[in-house]
Structure 1
Amino acid sequence: MSHILKNKVLDDFILWSNLKNGDERSFSLLFEKYYRDLINYGNSLCPFAEKVQDCIQDVFADIWIYRSSLQDNVIVKAYLLSSVRKRIARLHERDYVFKKTTSTDVLEFLFDFSIENALVEDEVTAERVLYLNKLLNDLPGRQKEALYLRYHQGLSVEQIAELLDVNYQSANNLLHRGLLSLRKEWKGSIPLLILIYSGVL
């Protein structure tokens, strides 16, 4: 684990511990730290921005209300993303978008991958980038969501498995199949894995 990542985990651990002890400042810092990530992920699962914001507010309200009973050792970012996903699934159920189900696997992943314009140096490259975006966005929803969680949000395979409510092997298969499909179809000169691991995708 890198020094930066260790510090990030340590910071989250301290903030989470302080929050559990009723420290409002730590609660606010965690909200500010992860709000944008939660908004982006929530918007990928629900097309109604106001409802996504409400779900995130509800998640943090519950965290504060039930802070004394929260687990001590959690990966805060993974916990928050999972909580938002479950809240949106319940919202769908309540609004009768999906009838008689509480499973989070009914959620459609709506996120569109795109590569930053800064990488596009000429018309040919631009065309290849558009094609790569298309390949990514044509992947099955679960594969696309797994790639998003792995490379956009930096979650481990174990955390992705827990968030998607599948076993480790299933989560690993989603990532493997997604990358395999991309490698099979991608013909561009931009190294695919470099783009993915740089966080551009």
Structure 2
Amino acid sequence: MSGQLSTEEAQRFWREFRAGDIDALATLMERFYPDLFNWGMRLHNEREFVKDCIQEIFLSLWKVQETIAPVENVKFYLLVVLKSRMLRELSKKENKLHTRLSEDYTFSVEFSADLRLIEEEHEVYQLRKLEQVMNQLSPRQKELIYLRFHQNLSFEQIAEVMQLGRQSVYNLLQKSLGSLRRHWVAVVLGLAGWQGII
């Protein structure tokens, strides 16, 4: 079984998991693993660390399956739980409190998985340009754009994941889109490094 789960399917599997069906939890893990892994790797680039954190959240879920509440959006819930788990594990690892990822964390943007679906060389070239432009943004801006346009989260959900107020999310998105436009024009016109002109 593969592919994205609809919100309704995910909620059905969540209900079955809460009722004691371990196969339902296994299905949720299998179907959401790629999104969770990609999200985790964008936040912290140690593969084994991210894999361990994902496994731990599903083990923890099974331990509390009788008492855990229903959730409105399973994918969103899992993204938030993974980020919290990673922060907690990094706190232990570095022996200091992480209330959020530091401002200098690396949030990477790569379109390599998408390139397999693209046959036209021109489209690959355009995607590479977009990747170059995206990587000009700050990690917080890249995280916001990823959550909004790749994970399709609402502004309220993004605010919770990023630990920001809703207005801050709006402001950061506007700033991010403005930066994207400026950088895109610079790349298209071959003015990379000449940002003062634009």
TM-score (norm 1): 0.80
Within a 5 Å distance, the mapping from 1:1-201 to structure 2 comes to 8-96=6-94, 100-106=96-102, 108-114=105-111, 116-117=114-115, 118=118, 121-122=121-122, 126=125, 129-187=127-185, 188=188
Q: Assess if the C-alpha contact under 8 Å between 1:109 and 1:144 holds in 2.
A: no
Give how far 1:45 is off: 1.5
TM-score of the aligned structures, taking structure 2 as reference length: 0.81
By how many angstroms is 1:36 displaced?
0.8
Structure 1 moving runs of 4+ over 6 Å: none
3-state DSSP class of the match of 1:71? coil
Shift of 1:90: 1.3
Overall identity of the aligned pairs, in % = 32
Q: 1:23 to 1:170 in 2, by over 3 A?
A: same
CA displacement at 1:122 relative to structure 2:
4.0
**Alpha-carbon deviation of 1:64?**
0.9
Determine which structure has greater relative contact order: mean sequence separation of CA pairs < 8 Å that are 6+ residues apart, divided by chain length. Answer: 1
RMSD over equivalenced CA pairs, Å: 2.4
TM-fit CA distance, 1:158: 1.2
Structure 1 unmatched ranges of 5 or more:
190-201
5+ long unaligned stretches in structure 2? 190-198
Q: How many Å separate the matches in 1 of 2:173 and 2:120?
A: 26
Equivalent residues of 1:113, 1:133 under 8 A apart: yes
Distance apart, 1:132 and its partner CA: 2.7
How much does 1:146 deviate?
A: 0.6
